[in-house]
Amino acid sequence: MKSRIYLDHAATTPVGMAARAAMVAALDMIGNPASVHTGGRAANAVLEGARDAVARFAGAAPEQIIFTSGGTEALGLALHGVRGPARVLASATEHSAVLGARDDIELLPVDASGTIDLAALEAALAGGPALVAVQAGNNETGVLQPLAEVAALVHRHGGLLLADCVQSAGKLALPAADFIALSAHKLGGPPGVGALIVRDPDTLQAVQRGGQERGFRGGTPNLPGIAGFGAAVGEQQDWAEVAARRAAMEAALVAAGAVIHGQAAPRLPHISSIGLAGVPAATQVMLLDLDGIMVSAGAACSSGKVKASHVLGAMGVGKKGAAAAGEAIRVSLSPATSAADIAAFTAAWLAMAARLGRKTGA
């Protein structure tokens, strides 16, 4: 069987050894964390120990951590449970977990690099305080947003900032936001668990009624998942080497005429959005998969279907001769991605472009 190379870490990354061990230990426990007997108290100690670990990781207090089923639920809890501002603003390149959460979200434009238009944000905030949702780093292009400037504008106008840090957590310092969404399975933890960091619990009300998580979330906690989450955030990773390997990969592709979307902007160290003009993203993903290389189309995570990227569309891709918004793949790396993996992908991509007789570029 052909060896497989996994380059889709922005979708999910393998569970680390520390997280695995913590989950196995939690699976061996028999108590519900809400029970007052010995087993319940032991389970609750694991739960609160994980909460303490996530709080240390986030530079927050334990009472500011609300465990959820993942980043989507964390974002939804903030978007639907916020107290105060009735309006919601979001950049046009936000994840579908934000854009699909409410029907009344006012979209803010981005420039050709994918960076939010601060002047447009300030003009929108002149209409009154709002909850403003902005990703720290985009899940398709890796483009970083100027969250310090965004936070200053939002707070100057009496609003609240929701930062989607699902992709950036563990790679960059968390911002000074009112709400921060995290997801364990992007950090070497298991899928099905995440957290919403709430700087001031008085700014949030429950959406799902229940007694757990101090009344903010119902249902028995996912103790093995939470234990794995707490263990995962304690493991440090070297992302500088990842960035160096991505830079080498992109240089080789650009030399052959590839388009790297968002390349002019500051980006997360592990994500590349690569355009191949005239070739649908689905075709590229399938051909590379046949070569043993697993990548994704940028929009695939929202529905399981490959379609034109709303992120690239908002950046103006598809205009003025640039590669179309439906013709880009996402390659995402991890510290475990080797130079040999990068070389194999680069060779496969160049061979694919040559076989299809296409030229990339504007």
Rounded average pLDDT over 298-315: 70
Q: Which long-range contacts (CB under 8 A, 24 or more apart) does 239-243 make?
A: 239/171, 239/269, 239/270, 239/335, 240/269, 241/335, 242/269, 242/270, 242/333, 242/334, 242/335, 242/337, 243/269, 243/270
165 included as an active-site residue: no
Same domain, 248 and 191: no
Prediction pTM value = 0.94
**Inside any domain, residue 173:** yes
How many percent of the chain have pLDDT more than 90? Answer: 84
Check: CB of residue 190 under 8 Å from CB of residue 228: yes
Q: How confident is the model at residue 236 (pLDDT cuts 50, 70, 90)?
A: confident
Across 86-95, 108-117, 243-252, 323-332, least confident range: 323-332
Rounded average pLDDT over 114-133: 97
Mean pLDDT estimate for the chain:
93
> What was the pLDDT predicted at 152?
97
Q: How confident is the model at residue 97 (pLDDT cuts 50, 70, 90)?
A: very high
**For residue 303, pLDDT beyond 70:** no
**Inside any domain, residue 179:** yes
Across 200-204, 253-257, 331-335, least confident range: 253-257
Same domain, 105 and 67: yes
> What was the pLDDT predicted at 99?
96
DSSP single-letter state for residue 64: G
Same domain, 77 and 188: yes
Q: Which of 232, 260, 301, 329 is catalytic?
A: 301
Rounded average pLDDT over 321-334: 83
Check: CB of residue 114 under 8 Å from CB of residue 315: yes
Query: What is the C-alpha separation between 196 and 180, in angstroms, rounded?
Result: 6
Q: How confident is the model at residue 124 (pLDDT cuts 50, 70, 90)?
A: very high
**Inside any domain, residue 298:** yes
**For residue 1, pLDDT beyond 60:** no
> What was the pLDDT predicted at 302?
45
Same domain, 197 and 344: no
Check: CB of residue 331 under 8 Å from CB of residue 274: yes
**For residue 253, pLDDT beyond 50:** yes
**For residue 360, pLDDT beyond 60:** no
Q: How confident is the model at residue 2 (pLDDT cuts 50, 70, 90)?
A: low
> What was the pLDDT predicted at 108?
98
Same domain, 127 and 194: yes
Query: What is the C-alpha separation between 178 and 107, in angstroms, rounded?
Result: 20
DSSP single-letter state for residue 68: E
Same domain, 290 and 174: no
Strand arrangement of the beta sheet that strand 194-198 belongs to: 65-68, 194-198, 179-183, 160-164, 130-135, 87-91, 106-108
Q: Which residue has the higher pLDDT, 222 or 355?
A: 222
Same domain, 28 and 122: yes
Same domain, 208 and 270: no
**For residue 305, pLDDT beyond 80:** no
Name the domain boundary from 216, 232, 248. 232
Q: How confident is the model at residue 362 (pLDDT cuts 50, 70, 90)?
A: very low
Residue 271 in tokens? 């994500």
Check: CB of residue 116 under 8 Å from CB of residue 247: no
Residue range(s) defining the domain that contains residue 283:
5-13+238-356
Domain count, the chain: 2
**Inside any domain, residue 248:** yes
Rounded average pLDDT over 294-309: 68
194-198 vs 65-68, strand pairing mode: antiparallel
**For residue 139, pLDDT beyond 90:** yes
We report the CATH number of the domain holding residue 36 as 3.40.640.10
Name the domain boundary from 179, 211, 232. 232
265-279 per-position pLDDT tens digit: 999 999 999 999 888
12-64 per-position pLDDT tens digit: 999 999 999 999 999 999 999 999 999 999 999 999 999 999 999 999 999 99
Rounded average pLDDT over 245-264: 93
